[in-house]
Chains A and B, each alone.
Chain A
Amino acid sequence: MATVSKLQKIASQVRRDIIRQTADANSGHPGGSLGCADLLTALYFKVMKHNPKFKMDGKNEDMFFLSNGHISPVWYSVLARSGYFKVSELATFRKINSRLQGHPATHEGLPGIRIASGSLGQGMSAAIGVALAKKLDGDKRTIYCLTGDGELQEGQVWEAMMFAAHHKVDNLITIVDYNGQQIDGPTQKVMSLGNLEAKWKAFGWKVIKMDGHNMTEILKKLEVAKNSLGKKKPVCILMTTAMGRGVDFMEGTHKWHGKATNTEQTANALSQLEETLGDY
């Protein structure tokens, strides 16, 4: 399937961008970024209708909100690679006078960012607000929101879940990055999330499970999710991923949640990721 292999090639470049941004800044969060590279590639290069000539209000566009703002490197990469700003700007990540702040922000005017995130648990509320406005305006496009799984330990997320079901916010797809890891260790050990599928369902959401690293399945399940909209229920995708996906020594552990690779590790990581679109 041509589309799938094209998207996989882009995702490989996105992963290189993540490693290079964080290594160059000697800080940042490569683990979760690598884990969400396939999803964000699918959204920005295939699924969403969006305009790189950025407008804050996003009228008649699909809109994406990143609640777990610390995985900014993956978002910056797909935004740059899809034309929101020059890819060369990725070299400024986390540096002084940059628009690419450690966590995403609107303050410096980076195209593609609509609200600051990083202090966790707030993104879904904002996504709901935009979804409500779209309904008021008769705008049929879709709102996507990505949240971490550890982030679900924040109480505000459950306030938002309750609201979205009560007010039938059925133009919203929330995707949970279900990697089972957080800074201090496995979520199971830090603060168990229990049966997430049952919890989302009990809160009144339609739940879809998805393998976050199988591009064919990602495209299929996002289609299923879109077809589930407009039926008086918000839609949740529980996306199984591996933190650090794509680099063997980073995969499946929380150890690379918030740590950059050193020179040697960077070379090793990049040797595992094909350069497909040209490094910045």
Chain B
Amino acid sequence: MLDKLTYKEKKATRDGFGAGMTQLGRRNKKVVALCADLIGSLKIQTFIDENPERFFQVGIAEANMIGIAAGLATAGKIPYTTTFANFATGRVYDQIRQSIAYSHKNVKICASHAGLTLGEDGATHQILEDIGLMKMLPGMTVINPADYTQTREATIAIAKHVGPVYLRFGRPGWPVFMPKGTFVIGKALKLHSGKDVTIIATGHMVWQAVEATRELEKNGVSVDLINIHTIKPLDESAILRSVKKTGCCVVAEEHQMYGGLGESVAGVLAKRHPAPLEQVAVNDSFGESGKPDQLLKKYGLSPKNIYKSAMKAIKRKKK
């Protein structure tokens, strides 16, 4: 199974979003898109060219974009708001809370350039708190796909889900390795079966976890590897099934250690099946300028660190 998890090309997850939007534009006339002056970055030009009447440029005014989307949803449209993750969440938290989440609006908040891998623009734009912010809102679905293919499929799938969704993706070219036709909202994807340790990863970190798993298996450690693309609602039974078998786990995410997927998994385990858990995440710190791979390495989001964390988790298991 592991030898199938390879790639022929790298493509950005945001390109997957753009491709998904193109397909959606053709098949679902209720879908409308809004953008706050970042059309090129969000890769939605084809959607706009093909459906000019269903696209609204709002300018650099994210709060207004969220409110307009809520209004469009009220009248039965399926609005997709598009901007960078930092401006899509933290900047407009109260607008999302009141006009979308509390009001049960069917808005899809789509956010590119999440996390450290945004790169050179630096910490002002590298939001590492967005998963936490969004998962705390009642009724909000939170999705962080792993690659181009999964982002494209998620983009299309969320149109059929009635309710607010936060869809998080990123900027850099990234291995395209996920098998096609496997994305279902809320359903974890098992990528490799093993018995010594569970590795749970989301977003770009799924590929890092694949690389770590290869090394671990080479050295005789058997890994249960899970791609959690839907952080909320969390596929608790998949996590419990795996950890009951392996007895420990590592959670890897391109996000703050506080408030992210790691804490969600820790909560499930603490309540239902206590077991050692190690986190691979940014440790209460802002990012900085640099190349994506340099940043991932410096802030501990590397395959090497997942490997080390897995060994640590295994060591902590009760003999």
Using a CB–CB cutoff of 8 Å, the interface residues on chain A facing chain B are: 56-59, 105-107, 114-119, 121-134, 136-137, 155-156, 159-160, 162-163, 166-167
Contact = CB atoms under 8 A, between A and B. Distances in A.
Given A116-B103, A159-B61, A136 B77 contact: yes
A49 B69 CA distance: 24
7 contacts: A105-B102, A106-B104, A115-B74, A115-B99, A125-B95, A136-B77, A163-B68
B70 A129 contact: yes
Interface in B100-135: 102-105
B103 A128 contact: no
Given A126-B68, A133-B77, 10 more contacts: A58-B74, A122-B63, A125-B66, A125-B71, A129-B67, A129-B70, A132-B68, A132-B72, A136-B77, A159-B61
Nearest to B138: A107
B295 to A, nearest CB: 32
A137 B77 CA distance: 10
A134 B66 CA distance: 18
Nearest to A155: B63
Contact of A156 (B59, B64, B79, B103): B64
Nearest to B94: A119
A59 B65 CA distance: 22
Contacts of A121: 63
B94 to A, nearest CB: 5
Contacts, number: 115
Nearest to B61: A159
The CB with the most chain A CB atoms within 10 A, among B53, B59, B73, B75, is that of: B75
Contact of B95 (A106, A132, A156, A166): A156
A155 B74 CA distance: 23
The CB with the most chain B CB atoms within 10 A, among A56, A107, A116, is that of: A116
B76 interface: yes
Given A129-B70, A130-B71, A156-B67, A136 B61 contact: no
Nearest to A137: B75
B102 A107 contact: yes
A119 B69 CA distance: 17
Contact of B71 (A59, A106, A131, A137): A131
Nearest to A103: B98
Q: Which 3 residue pairs spanning A and B have beta carbons closest together?
A: A129-B71, A125-B67, A133-B75
Given A115-B105, A116-B102, A160 B64 contact: yes
A163 B72 contact: no
Contacts of B64: 125, 128, 156, 159-160, 163
User: Interface majority SS on B: helix, strand, loop or mixed?
Assistant: helix
Contact of A162 (B61, B66, B103, B104): B61
Contact of B99 (A59, A122, A162): A122
A129 B103 contact: no
The CB with the most chain B CB atoms within 10 A, among A59, A105, A133, A134, is that of: A133
Given A125-B66, A163-B61, A163-B64, A132 B71 contact: yes
Contact of B58 (A106, A119, A163): A163
Given A122-B99, A136-B77, A129 B72 contact: yes
Contacts of B174: none
Nearest to A115: B103
A137 B61 CA distance: 25
B214 interface: no
Contact of A114 (B54, B65, B74, B95): B74
Contacts of A122: 63, 67, 95, 98-99
Interface string B144-175: 00000000000000000000000000000000
Contacts of A160: 64, 67-68
The CB with the most chain A CB atoms within 10 A, among B58, B69, B74, B95, is that of: B74
A132 B88 CA distance: 21
Nearest to A57: B76
A114 B105 CA distance: 10
Contacts of A167: 56
Contacts of B94: 119
A133 B97 CA distance: 22
A12 B64 CA distance: 36
Contacts of A118: 98
B68 A136 contact: no
B71 A115 contact: yes
Contact of A125 (B68, B75, B97): B68
Contacts of A59: 75-76
The CB with the most chain A CB atoms within 10 A, among B56, B68, B104, is that of: B68
Nearest to B102: A116
Contacts of B67: 122-126, 128-129, 156, 160
The CB with the most chain A CB atoms within 10 A, among B56, B64, B79, B103, is that of: B64
Contacts of B54: 136
Contacts of A106: 102-104
Given A125-B68, A125-B71, A128-B71, A133 B76 contact: yes
